[in-house]
A and B are shown apart, each in its own frame.
Chain A
Amino acid sequence: MELVGEEKKIQTLFSELRLADEQTVPSFGATWNRAQARALRPRRAFNLSFVAATALLICALVSLAWWSTHWQRPQPNVVAVTPSGVVPDRKPSAGVPASKESPAPSGSEPKKSVSAGHRFEGSARLRAGRLAARQEANLLAAEKKQAAAISSWQSPTATLLSSPNDDLLKSLPQLNESTNDLKSFLPNTPK
């Protein structure tokens, strides 16, 4: 590479630096021998950083597993709908947690009870709960009506299926009947 002006100046500085470095270069033999000694040295089966990383990973997995087993979804338990429309003034007891109360269908508008522990919660949340309960009750009532209508349904052509000879068609002769009686079942015999 042809050097000009400032490049020559830089080259000179680098040359000086190289000359100084050359005086302090460690001997090749010593460096090579040390490298060879390191190569021959028995290696550790595992290094510390690997062990630390593995331990950390195991800790993370264990804590994740523990968390997933002990984690419970935050329960809304704001509204409890009673089936009979009677508001049970239930206080949260140790035996029956308030959150286990499930909404049941009822004809009238379901009444709601707010557990004492959650009274401080906002009116918006209560309103939302009430609305949800009302919607559920309405849905149940509609389903009941539908079920009744389906059970009493009759086909419009059901009358066409009946005939005057239904008695003969739907009954069978008994084995202990007399011959005369049996004749009535034969088509071309005079009665």
Chain B
Amino acid sequence: MKQIDPMDIAELKAELETLHSASFGWALSCCRRDRGEAEDVLQTVYLKILEGKARFRGEAAFKTWLFAVIRQTAAGEYRRKLLRSLKLITGAEQAGDRASPEVGPGAAFEKSEVQIRFQTALKSLPTRQREALHLVFYEDLSLREAAEVMGISIGSARQHYERGKKRLRETLDTAEVAYGISWRRKENPDAV
């Protein structure tokens, strides 16, 4: 991908628009599937780019750079949110603007049993492992690109990826077994 001139807003906007959907997905993952927060993060990222606080210098692919900015911004927002919760300041004002996570066509899908189990398992993973899996499977990035986004070496990224896969499988298996037992109990309460 060619280097984006920071001054060329129109070109930059076109690039961002192309990656908007993927960026939102990544922001969602970074914000622990909180849609409102993900939207705020994405908006802040665009603001940073507009103000020149985040500048693409062509050292990596544009997508990789953008994802790294999103990740950093999400981490910053999370810290700020933690601080706010410590101060016992409720974000009632912001919450009013946000759409509820359950609202929308995706909510019905997320209620499906398999996806609930999958998302629960995904949430139970350590952040780095979850990020590695998301970047590889959701965003179709290579491990090298995932490592660049996460700001770690490719070896570490591979380790997080492998461990994440293993842990996700284990969690899903456990959930499946538990679900199966409860399902059978529901159907036949006398069964042990």
Q: Is B142 an interface residue (CB 8 A)?
A: yes
The interface-forming segment of A35-43, A83-91, A133-141, A171-179 is: A35-43
- Known contacts A31-B43, A32-B46, A38-B43; A11 and B104 CB within 8 A of each other: no
Chain A contact residues: helix, strand, loop or mixed: helix
Dominant secondary structure of chain B at its interface with chain A: helix
Check A35 against B47 for contact (C-beta < 8 Å): yes
The docked-state distance in angstroms from the alpha carbon of A20 to that of B24 is 12
Residues in B with CB closer than 8 Å to A122 are none
Would you call B157 an interface residue if the criterion is a C-beta within 8 Å of the partner chain's C-beta atoms? no
Count, A-B residue pairs, CB within 8 A:
81
Residue in B28, B114, B133, B165 whose CB lies within 8 Å of A21: B28
Contact with B along A1-33 (1 / 0, CB 8 A): 100001100110110111111111110100110
| Minimal beta-carbon separation of A125 from chain B (angstroms) | 47
**A23 near B105 (CB under 8 angstroms)?**
yes
| B51 touches which of A6, A13, A19, A39 (Cβ 8 Å) | A39
Query: Could you say which interface size class chain A belongs to?
Result: 20 to 34
Q: Does B134 contact A (CB under 8 A)?
A: yes
A38 to B42, CA, bound (A): 13
Interface bits B78-104 vs A (CB < 8 Å: 1, else 0) = 000000000000000000000000001
Interface size, chain B (Cβ < 8 Å)? 36
Q: Which residues of B contact A18 (CB under 8 A)?
A: 25, 138
Q: State which of A11, A20, A28, A36 has its C-beta within 8 Å of the C-beta of B109.
A: A20
Q: Which residue of B lies closest to A27 (CB)?
A: B20
Chain A residues in 8 Å Cβ range of B44: 35
What sequence of 0s and 1s flags, for each residue 125-166 of chain B, a beta carbon within 8 Å of any chain A beta carbon? 000000001101110001100000000000000000000010
**What is B's interface to A at a CB cutoff of 8 Å?**
13, 16-17, 20-21, 24-25, 28, 35, 39, 42-44, 46-47, 50-51, 104-106, 109-110, 114-115, 118-119, 133-134, 136-138, 142-143, 165, 168-169
